């Protein structure tokens, strides 16, 4: 995986073989360097420097809070080769690296960060050989390749109360402070964890879900569930249910064995053996989220505004996750969409269909805006718990 090779560093590559690339990213929000002590980060050039190693990440937008915020990503990479049978391809993996970096940053910041285009290549001169001087600093063509993907800007709502109070709700992403040293530490140590590749797979799916969350709730929900499965299956590879749970899962086998005259112990063993080969995907999905979600999940959400009375209760967390997985199965195998309440909380408006789809005296099916937070919280919880103290 090229992004992990890049984060490890190119120790066996000559300096002259490295090419510097610059990409432009779009952030559906406002990022700033939270380590800079200043009264107003929007007036500080230092607050524009979000990371300096192993990548350079800079705020390019003027003004600072322009929406979507434009970021400049700079890094160095060398040429690689891929062989398929008798065919060999040689190329720079800068596109792969930039997209994976954007996905990882999306997880760390909980903001949609996407690649817009490559803007520059800087090659090193090798003595008297190579390109002429103007071509060493190569301006990449981008006009026809621009692909700006970001969340739509949403209007605020104003509620006027009879007593004169005024309540304003902004449904756009609030500014997010980047932990300068923390981001560097995570990026440099990410390749050291055992499930680094699985985390990148999850980050890709999570970031893709964010691109769809305002336009296709069913697809976003599917991708978020897949983002958990991409890492949960490996993280809990050795996890299996208790014997009692396996017997309950194959109770029909247990009952039939007793009808055939087998003893209780023999019937139990037969039911347990009948569970061989079951991936226990739903159990791993629920267990991973329960193990790696932190208590911060139950604090107020500053990104999406789902009415508190419509959120799952902490004591019924497992039940809510089970409902989500069951609904995904119905969509995958029967083509049934997620319940309309899944779209609640993404903006200032609630569709009549969503509002009329459930009993307001009970908790509705969990909104995707809440489940996105669950997935993000668990992925960050996993990284924070498994990153080594030293790279």
The DSSP code sequence of 321-358 is HHHHHHHHHHHHHH-PPPPGGGGTTSSS---HHHHTSS
Q: What is the pLDDT of residue 128?
A: 55
CB atoms within 10 A of CB 117: 18
Q: 36-43: which pairs have CB atoms within 8 A and are 24 or more residues apart?
A: 36/180, 41/175
pTM beyond cutoff 0.85: yes
Q: Are 279 and 240 in contact (CB under 8 A)?
A: no
pLDDT digits (tens, 9 = 90+) for 161-170: 888 888 888 8
Query: How much is the pLDDT for 312?
Result: 93
User: pLDDT for 265-277, tens place per residue?
Assistant: 888 888 778 877 7
Residues with Cβ within 8 Å of residue 259, at least 6 apart in sequence: none
What token pair was written down for 19?
């090419």
389: left (phi over 0), alpha (psi -120 to 50) or beta: alpha
How large is the C-alpha radius of gyration of the chain?
25
Per-residue pLDDT at 142 exceeds 80: no
Lowest-confidence pick of 24-28, 64-68, 302-306, 385-389: 385-389
Instruction: Answer whether residue 17 shows pLDDT above 70.
Output: yes
The answer to whether 14 and 124 are in contact (CB under 8 A) is: no
Q: Would you state the pLDDT for residue 14?
A: 74
With bands split at pLDDT 50, 70 and 90, how would you rate the model's confidence at 234?
A: very high
DSSP alpha helices (H): ranges in 30-149? Answer: 94-109, 133-136
What gap in Å lies between CA 221 and CA 227, rounded to an integer?
10
Q: Please, where are the H alpha helices in 110-260?
A: 133-136, 180-189, 196-212, 217-235, 243-249, 251-259
Lowest mean pLDDT among 116-130, 295-309, 319-333, 376-390: 116-130
**Predicted confidence (pLDDT) per residue in 176-196, tens digit:** 999 999 999 999 999 999 999
pLDDT band of 295, cuts 50, 70, 90: very high
Identify the pLDDT of residue 249: 76
Q: What band does 261 get if pLDDT is binned at 50, 70 and 90?
A: confident
Q: pLDDT at residue 372 above 60?
A: yes
**Domain range summary for the chain, segments of one domain joined by +:** 2-179, 217-239+280-386
Q: In the predicted model, what is the mean pLDDT of the chain?
A: 89
């Amino acid at each position: 995986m090229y992004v992990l090779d890049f984060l490890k560093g190119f120790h066996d590559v000559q300096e002259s073989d490295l090419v510097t690339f610059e990409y432009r990213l779009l952030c559906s929000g406002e990022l700033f360097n939270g380590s800079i002590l200043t009264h107003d980060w929007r007036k500080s050039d230092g607050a524009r420097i979000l990371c300096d190693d192993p990548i350079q990440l800079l705020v390019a937008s003027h003004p600072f809070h322009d929406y979507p915020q434009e970021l400049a990503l700079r890094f160095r990479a060398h040429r690689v080769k891929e062989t398929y049978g008798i065919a060999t391809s040689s190329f720079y993996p800068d596109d792969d690296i930039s997209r994976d970096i954007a996905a990882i940053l999306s997880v760390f910041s909980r903001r949609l960060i996407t690649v817009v285009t490559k803007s520059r290549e800087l090659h090193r001169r090798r003595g008297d050989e190579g390109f002429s001087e103007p071509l060493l600093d190569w301006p990449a063509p981008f006009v026809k390749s621009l692909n700006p993907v970001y969340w739509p800007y949403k209007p605020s709502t104003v509620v006027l109360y009879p007593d004169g109070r005024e309540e304003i709700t902004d449904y756009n992403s609030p500014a997010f402070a980047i932990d300068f040293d923390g981001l560097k530490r995570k990026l440099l140590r990410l390749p050291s964890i055992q499930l680094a590749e699985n985390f990148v797979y999850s980050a890709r799916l999570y970031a893709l879900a964010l691109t769809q969350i305002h336009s296709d709730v069913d697809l976003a929900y599917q991708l978020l569930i897949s983002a958990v499965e991409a890492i949960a299956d490996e993280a809990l590879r050795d996890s299996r249910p208790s014997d009692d749970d396996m017997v309950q899962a194959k109770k029909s086998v247990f009952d039939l064995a007793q009808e055939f005259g087998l003893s209780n112990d023999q019937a139990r063993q037969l039911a347990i053996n009948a569970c061989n080969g079951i991936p226990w995907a739903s159990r791993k999905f629920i267990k991973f989220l329960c193990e790696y979600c932190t208590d911060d999940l139950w604090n107020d959400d500053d990104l999406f505004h789902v009415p508190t009375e419509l959120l799952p209760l902490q004591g019924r967390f497992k039940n809510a996750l089970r409902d989500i997985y069951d609904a995904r199965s119905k969509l995958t195998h029967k083509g049934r969409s997620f319940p309309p309440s899944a779209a609640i909380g993404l903006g200032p408006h609630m569709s009549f269909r969503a509002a009329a789809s459930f009993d307001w005296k009970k908790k509705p099916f969990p909104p995707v805006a809440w489940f996105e937070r669950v997935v993000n919280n668990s992925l960050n919880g996993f990284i924070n718990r498994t990153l080594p103290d030293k790279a």
